[in-house]
Structure 1
Amino acid sequence: MTIPSEPVIIVGGGQSGLAAARAALAARLRPVVLHAGAEPVGSWPDYYDSLTLFSPARHSALPGLAFGGADPDRYPTRDEVVDYLRRYADGTDAEIRSGVRVTAVHARPGGGYLVRTDAGDEIAAAGLVAASGSFGNPYVPTLPGRRDYAGELRHVASYRRPEPYAGRRVVVVGAGNSAVQVAHELAARSTVTLATRGPVRYLPQRVRGRDLHHWLDVTGADRLPRRLIAPLVRRPGVLDDGTYRAAIAAGLLDRRDMFTAFTPEGVVWADGVVEPVDAVIFATGYRPALGYLAPLGVPRARGGVSTSHPGLVYLGLEFQRSFASNTLRGVGRDAAHVVAALAGRLSGAGRRSGAGGAARRARVRGV
């Protein structure tokens, strides 16, 4: 296989970027990981303090390194995940540059890409892996009166701990794992309502004595293609061992249908009741943080491989190829798939251009 002389740039140094780097090295490419954060551990240090994985340690590892620890069936904490990714990054031979934010990617006329960073560098790349995740692009729905609301309004991306909300009236918006977990921990100190579009849908944490992820693995459900699994999970579900369901049923955690508007002091509930509210926390998900690809227009892709821009692949998008695509346990499979496609493309391009002669003449700054 013809190996391109220029690097493959991987944008993002979280779990997706690290999995991509490992796969790229195995494909004999030269990966360079550009990560905006202080160290290549993704966005995990910025999640709320009490966060634990919803999958056991044995089902939460990237390729090539077991999660470790005395109990493989425990649910690792946020800080354990950070430590794990730190070990994973330390064990890779890929070049990783932290504190480097990619601001724009341009296609080059002769093939490949020019990657611009916030430091003013321009890096010529044979190919690009967009593995920047979505944490940097939290989604907050637009509701009437939002700009006039004088209380605290934030996305769960910037929530850390419950103590600042003690004694306050708080509404948490969302029906997924993070929304319910945050609302439940706030309820011990605050008056909390979980606002959702409909009833919370619960999924059993354990089935026949085994964690649900064991069954997703052994049945192959974790690997079902997107076209089969996406229609089944249109609504978010909450993994629950019974704690959250019992709290809502007992009134320890209030749940109401989503409010329809903000007032300057609070919210208007679906039944027309107007209530003062001190803080609203949206746990309404994220959108892919891909603003740096804007110069390319709207790249089209299938299964994480661009069909409109040769040499561009994606990693870590929700339901990219399967139910587990944007998780620690699933991103390695997707990495192998998209990097194999990328390597095949670059190998063919190298042969057509005389083993990458045009690429070698391209100007490279910052590599």
Structure 2
Amino acid sequence: MILEASDQTAGSWPRYYDSLTLFSPARYSSLPTMPFGGDPDRYPRRDEVTAYLLRYAEHLDADIRTRSRVTAVRTDGEDFVLDLEDGSRLGARAVVTATGGFGRPHRPALPGPGAFTGTLLHVSQYRNPTPYTGQRVVVVGAGNSAVQVAAELARVARVSLASRTPVRFFPQRPLGRDLHFWLTLTGLDTAPLGRLQRRPATMAVIDDGRYRTALAAGRPERRPMFTAVDGPAVTWADNTTEKVDTIILATGYQPDLNFLAPLAALDQTGRPLHRDGASLAHPRLAHVGLEWQRSLSSASLRGVGRDARRAARRIARELRSR
């Protein structure tokens, strides 16, 4: 049984910003047994990924229940009881969390003596640049989403990209071949590095040249992180103050796994206690889709299938032994 909190089997993809495009070509963006289809060298957009996930779900031999948000998982002897948001309960011999690492937007506190009185949102709430036309906008962050959204907004607004560290770039097609070709060729894409990389590192922005050029031209401009917020204004590191209409936090996400709290399966930050996806709290609890769960590609369409097979084999062995 698959329990999906939303009303369709496409995960978070329908809610991402309109222009979001995969970094990996279609040939490297498939789940097991079903190729993405179309030109294998194209970079699929958000709506293509959503449609692909819906097609994939149609071919699964599983009981899929949408609008079924789990609020708590508890033990019942060796088994589990799942509490759902609608008040119902389900029993299970094993549980796999597949909510990924992007369910809970990270919203750090803004510096300064007061609250920001303009529009403050996380990048998860951003859809397209139209509502921000003519505004003064600050995008906070130095990762892929921050740079992409800031560059898109800079076409219609005056935009600053504020970050504590400079933006680092990595070419999307080194030596004329897509990055994922080289990751696959070298084995880095599947190498079991998760135990070494316990927390996601700050990744370089994958760029085909557009974003480096945009920042070099000041569209958007990159500035050190502002030091204070007070009312409608921000104070920059050089002590200048200016009014800002909108601040967009492109500050990442955290796993949305609070429903596992009754199992004592999370650390103090809300991240699961696991080894390569195998829970350290219960032998029949597993995880898939977490960043750096086991490898660089664990949280991606191309890599989650490998971790899913490991989880399935482990749970099957555990069930047979009981």
Contact 1:229 1:322 in 2 (8 A): no
Q: SS where residue 246 of structure 1 aligns?
A: helix
CA apart distance, 1:107: 0.9
Counting only pairs closer than 5 Å after superposition, residues 1-367 of structure 1 correspond to structure 2 as 32-69=1-38, 71-108=39-76, 110-145=77-112, 148-227=115-194, 230=197, 234-299=201-266, 300-349=273-322
Task: Identify the structure with the greater helix proportion.
Answer: 1
- What is the CA deviation profile of residues 4-48 of structure 1, one whole-angstrom value per residue up to 9, with x for unaligned ones? xxxxxxxxxxxxxxxxxxxxxxxxxxxx00001111110100000
Aligned match of 1:5? none
Gaps of 5+ in 1: 1-31, 350-367
The alignment yields a C-alpha RMSD, in angstroms, of 1.6
Contact (CA 8 Å) 1:314, 1:338: kept in 2 or not? Answer: yes
Shift of 1:231: 8.7
Equivalent residues of 1:40, 1:98 under 8 A apart: yes
Listed one character per residue, the Cα deviations across residues 154-174 of structure 1 (whole Å, up to 9, x for unaligned) are: 000010000000000001111
User: Aligned partners of 2:79, 2:228: CA distance in 1, in Å?
Assistant: 47
Shift of 1:135: 3.2
Letter in 2 for 1:126: R
**Deviation at 1:233?**
7.1
Aligned CA distance change for structure 1 residues 278 and 63 (closer, same or farther; 3 Å): same
- What TM-score, normalized to structure 1? 0.83
Give the Cα–Cα distance (whole angstroms) in 2 for the partners of residues 272 and 228 of structure 1. Answer: 42
Aligned partners of 1:115, 1:147: CA distance in 2, in Å? 42
Following superposition, the deviation at residue 230 of structure 1 comes to 3.1
Q: For this pair of structures, how many residues does the alignment match?
A: 316
After TM superposition, the score normalised by the length of structure 2 is 0.94
Give, as a single letter, the amino acid of the residue that structure 2 aligns with 1:72.
Answer: P
How much identity, in percent, do the aligned residues show? Answer: 53
Please list every run of 5 or more consecutive structure 2 residues that lacks an aligned counterpart in the other structure.
267-272
Contact residue 195 and residue 275 of structure 2 kept, 8 A: no
Per-residue deviation at 1:228?
7.4
- Post-superposition Cα deviations, 1:72-106, rounded to whole Å, max 9, x if no partner, equal 11110100000100110001111100011101100
Q: Larger C-alpha radius of gyration, 1 or 2?
A: 1
Contact 1:135–1:157 (8 Å) recurs in 2? no
Tell me if the contact between 2:289 and 2:299 (Cα under 8 Å) persists in the aligned partners. yes
Could you say if the C-alpha distance between residues 335 and 173 of structure 1 is closer, same or farther in structure 2, counting changes exceeding 3 Å? same
The alpha-carbon distance between structure 1 residues 233 and 99, as it changes in their structure 2 partners (threshold 3 A), is closer
Larger CA deviation: 93-102 vs 133-142: 133-142
Query: Counterpart of 1:79 in structure 2: which amino acid?
Result: D
Deviation at 1:144, TM superposition (A): 2.8
CA distance in 1, matches of 2:83, 2:200: 37
Given that 2:190 and 2:297 are in contact with CA atoms closer than 8 Å, whether structure 1 keeps it comes out as yes
